[in-house]
Chain A
Amino acid sequence: MTEIKTDTATGGSGMGRRRFFDVVLGGGIAALAGGILYPVVRFMIPPEQPEAATSMVVAAKVGELAPNTSKMFRFGKDPAILIHTDAGQYRAFSAICTHLDCTVQYRDDLKHIWCACHNGHYDLSGNNIAGPPPTPLAQYDVAVRGDQIIVTRA
C-alpha cells in the first residue's frame, strides 16, 4: 500500500495548507490563462465592420435613390455625397467644400452641388463653377456590384 508521505516538519495540517496553496496557484495560472485566452479569442472574432472604411464604402443600395436625388454618407471620418443624376448616372464626391470645409448638398432644383455657407456652386463633375470655392471637389469612383453601390477613392 502506498503511503501518503506527510511533511513531518509542518505536521498534519501541512497537507491542508499545501493543498490550499496548490489550488490557489492553480487558480492563478487558470486566471492568467483566461486573461490570455480571452483577448486572443476576442481578437480573432472579426469586428462588426470587417475592414477599415477608409478606402472603400458601400454607399447605398440600387433603387435606394431616385434620379435627381442624393445621399450623404460617411467615408472614413469625412462626409461624402452620392448623387443619382437625372441621366441615371451615379456620381460620388467628397462633401467637404473647398472654400471653408462646410458640408455641401445636392440641389435638385439647380441639379448641381451647392454649399449653403457662402453660396458656392459645383457642377456634376465636381468643378467649382460659381462662388468662393477655389478648387473642385474631390471625386470618388463609383461602381455598381450586384445591388450595392460601392464608392472607392479614385
Chain B
Amino acid sequence: MSQQNRRMQIGTWLDERIGWSAIQELAMHKRVPMHRHSIWYYLGGMTLFCFLVQVFTGILLLLYYRPTAEAAFESVEFIMTDVPFGWLVRSLHSWSANLMIFFAFVHMFSVFFMRAYRRPRELTWISGALLLVLSLGFGFSGYLLPWNQLAYFATKVGTDILGEIPLIGEWLLVVARGGEDVTGATLTRFFGVHVAILPMIATFFLLLHLALVQKQGMSVPIGEEYKKAPSMPFLPNFAVRDLVGWTLALGILVLLSSIFPWELGVKADPLAPAPAGIRPEWFFCFMFQTLKYIPGKVFFINGELLGIIGFSLGGLALILVPFLDRKAGREERNVLFTAIGWVVILYIIVFTVLAYVE
C-alpha cells in the first residue's frame, strides 16, 4: 500500500485508542503570527533546547559521576580525561547550562516587553517565572558538583547569605548545607536536588507552560497592526524554523565546548584559604555585587538582610507582573512598565560587569 494509506491506517489505529485526531487537531491548530517582533518567538524554544541538552548530557554524566567529597572531583577528572568524549559531554553540559539561563532571561524580558503575560496568559507567565527561578537553582546546585575550590567557596558564601534571613535563616542554612558547614553532606544533598528534586518540579511546570502555550497560541504585542498580522502554521513551518535555530545552537555549543573546554580547577580544600576574588556564577553576580554596595547597617537593619528583602520583593513582583500591569489587561500600552523593564536590564548588565571588573 502507498505511504499515504499506511499513514491513514496508523492514524485510525491510534485515534481509536488515544484520541489521536484530537491531539493532531490541537497540534495543527496553532499558528504563529509574523510581524516585526516575531524573531523573539524563537527564544522560548531555544531555552527548551538547552534544557533538553542538559537533561541528555546530564544523564550521560550520571553514568560516571560520584557525589561524595572523596570521589566527586576525581570522577569529573575521570570523565574529562579517560572516558571517550567525556570532555565533550561535560563541556556541553557546562556551556549549555549557562546558555540556558541566558536564553531564559532574554526570553523572559522579551515576553515582558511584548506584554505576552496579559490576560489570558497570566498562568503561563507565572509558570515561566518559576521556571526561571528553578533554572537558577539548577545552576547553583550543579555548580558545586565538581567539588573544586571555586565552587566550594562560592557555595559557602551563597549559603551564608541564606542564613541572613530572619527567623528561619539559621534553619534554612542547616537544611541547605546538610549541616552547619559546607561538607560532603552538602554535596550529596545538592546532588539530590540537582538530579531529582528540581527536575521533577521543573518537568511539571515545563509541561504546564508548554501545554498552555500550545492551547492559547502565540500572543502578539499590543496594537492594531499586530492583530492583523499574517500567520504561519506552527507545524511544520515554524517548528522546522525552530529546528534550524536549535541546530545552529548545537553548532555553537559544540564549537564552544571544543575550543573553550570547561576548566576543572583544583580539588576543594576546606582548610586552604579562600581563593582571591571569589564570586558566584555570572547570573548571580549582579545580586552579589549589589549586596557589596549596601552599607553594613541601614538604620537598624542589617545591610545584607535589606538586600535579601529587596531581591525577594523583586522576585515576588516579577511573578506578579501580570496582576501589577493593569493597563496591559486593558490592551493599553504602559510606558512605566517598559521603562522599569529597561532599567532592570541596565541594572543587571552594569552590576554584572562591575562584579567582574572589580
Contact = CB atoms under 8 A, between A and B. Distances in A.
Contact of B85 (A2, A43, A46, A52): A43
A45 B60 CA distance: 11
Nearest to B56: A40
A154 B327 CA distance: 68
A39 B84 contact: yes
A52 B70 contact: no
Interface residues of B, number: 18
Contacts of B294: none
Interface in B58-82: 60, 63, 70-71, 74-75, 77-78, 82
A40 B89 CA distance: 8
Interface string B3-37: 01000000000000000000000000000000000
Interface string A16-40: 0000000000000000100000011
A45 B84 contact: yes
- Chain B contact residues: over half helix, strand or loop, or mixed? helix
A46 B86 CA distance: 11
Which of A39, A52, A54, A55 neighbours the largest number of chain B CB atoms within 10 Å of its CB? A52
A43 B89 contact: yes
A47 interface: yes
B74 A43 contact: no
A4 to B, nearest CB: 11
B254 to A, nearest CB: 9
Contacts of A55: 70-71, 74
A89 interface: no
Main secondary structure of the interface of A (DSSP, over half): loop
A8 interface: no
A61 to B, nearest CB: 24
B88 interface: yes
Contact of A42 (B2, B70, B78, B85): B85
B83 interface: yes
A51 interface: yes
Given A40-B60, A44-B60, A55-B74, A49 B82 contact: yes
Nearest to A39: B85
B82 A44 contact: no
B236 to A, nearest CB: 14
Nearest to A35: B254
B228 to A, nearest CB: 29
Given A39-B84, A43-B85, A43-B89, 20 more contacts: A39-B89, A40-B60, A42-B84, A42-B85, A43-B60, A43-B63, A43-B84, A43-B86, A44-B60, A44-B63, A45-B84, A47-B82, A47-B83, A47-B84, A49-B82, A52-B74, A52-B75, A52-B78, A55-B70, A55-B74
9 closest Cβ contacts across the A-B interface? A39-B85, A42-B84, A52-B78, A52-B74, A43-B85, A47-B82, A42-B85, A54-B74, A47-B83
